[in-house]
Structure 1
Amino acid sequence: MEDTNKKTIDAYEVSIDQYILNTPNKRGAVVEAWIDKAIKGLAQDAQILEIGSGYGRDATYIEDKGFHVEKTDATQGFVDILVGKDPTSHTLNIVTDEIASTYDLIIANAVLLHLNDEQTREATKKIYNALHSQGTFAFTLKQGEGSAWQTNKDMAPRFFNYWHKKDVVKILSDTGFTSFDAWVDETDSPSAIWIMVVARKA
């Protein structure tokens, strides 16, 4: 079976400069509203894990609000950048690694969309088990059919898996999440329709 996870991580490794160059430094209003919803009600000392931090754009937004984010990525090149800003940053591949601690919030923006269906289900279980009671899991996916390899942003080919909201809701429910908001937004990016999710553990 093709290892889409490894190939996608390898694509990021060889295309980091292109990714940073072609990714806006400023988050769109929709992403900021989604993050605000995820962190609402958290204590300032909340334990927050970000999966797939990239070069730290979303983490910076959260930390500017007074929180600390444990920043991780599966791509070593991104981890090297993150460590330069925060020595506690580290490597985490949600497909192959276990989550060693427990958290009040786990956030993953445009990360699970690189996983196939089974990997997404297993990753969701790992994340659920790594949340404190009443913990929150916030993530985004792209809406659509099937899967594809894409070379956008002048990068090496990356695997993308597409979803419909009803299927995402089923995975959350099957995993054990009892409260979740999932909505579709197509205003923040002309090239994609995004599924935005904030799920809470009982």
Structure 2
Amino acid sequence: MTSCSNRTTLSSYAAKFRQYGERSTQTLAGASKTWIDQILIGLEPDAAIFEMGTAHGRDAAYIAARGYAVLCSDAVPEFVAELLAKGVPAIVFDLLTDPFERQYDLILANAVLLHFTDAQFDHALLKTVGALSAGGRFAFTLKAGQGSEWSNAKIDAPRYFRYWSRDELIERFDAHGLRDFTIDAVTTDRAHAEWIYVTVRRPAAGTGGA
């Protein structure tokens, strides 16, 4: 399910992983903090949590400070090596090609699926929902907008971006039989201001649904 666009994007992150950290905020605040606080509501202290696209570990550190254990991952080995050097549990994991080893109560992916083509998005969505425990949630963020483009912004290397709208996502979820989800459009102080924060829930046992 990988593609030239995905390989190029990952290669750019690998080449510029230090620059990415230097040009990214290391303090969780605003809409991103609110999003994570919301997705943690109701989780048991021993909940199984898996983060994809951890990068330098900002979000995972915040969740860990809230008392949860987080298994971090990234498709870029350079990020994983840095996390391990800091003592953070982390594995190399490519959502498009690697299998989930277990089920999780929460899987989160901040600014990961926005690098996928439509077919890759569908594959990643269904694969991840399938790796949730009953009642589990998949939380992810996307850039709001139309169409797709290549951009050298932020890290001076090409990355593929696919932009989304609320209506497109609802249509996608309906097509896949996903009924329990929330979609919040928010304005942030990031360089790309308009984002979409999504949570998809797997039905609890005995409740039916996809």
TM-score, structure 2 length as denominator? 0.91
Tell me, yes or no, if the aligned pair for 1:104 and 1:131 is still in contact at 8 Å.
Answer: yes
2: CA distance, partners of 1:197 / 1:125: 14
Matches within 5 A, 1:36-115: 36-86=37-87, 88-115=89-116
2: CA distance, partners of 1:17 / 1:155: 12
1:146 paired to 2:143: no
Deviation for aligned residue 1:87:
5.7
1:51-109 Cα deviation digits (max 9, x unpaired):
10001110001010000111000001001011123463101111111112110000000
Matches within 5 A, 1:23-42: 23-42=24-43
Match of 1:181, SS state, is strand
Equivalent residue letter for 1:33: T
Alignment match, 1:180: 181
Deviation for aligned residue 1:112:
0.2
1: CA distance, partners of 2:177 / 2:64: 29
1:127-147 Cα deviation digits (max 9, x unpaired):
011000100010000011111
2: CA distance, partners of 1:181 / 1:121: 17
Deviation for aligned residue 1:174:
3.3
Tell me, yes or no, if the aligned pair for 1:131 and 1:201 is still in contact at 8 Å.
Answer: yes
Alignment match, 1:170: 171
Match of 2:154, SS state, is helix
Alignment match, 1:130: 131
Q: 1:125 to 1:86 in 2, by over 3 A?
A: farther
2: CA distance, partners of 1:10 / 1:62: 28
Q: Aligned residues, how many?
A: 202
Alignment match, 2:22: 21
Residue identity over aligned pairs, in percent, reads 37
Match of 1:154, SS state, is coil
Tell me, yes or no, if the aligned pair for 1:124 and 1:175 is still in contact at 8 Å.
Answer: no
2: CA distance, partners of 1:112 / 1:118: 11
2: CA distance, partners of 1:5 / 1:70: 23
Deviation for aligned residue 1:2:
5.7
Gaps of 5+ in 2: 204-210
Calculate the aligned-residue CA RMSD, in Å.
1.5
Gaps of 5+ in 1: none
Equivalent residue letter for 2:7: K
Match of 2:139, SS state, is strand
1: CA distance, partners of 2:184 / 2:15: 33
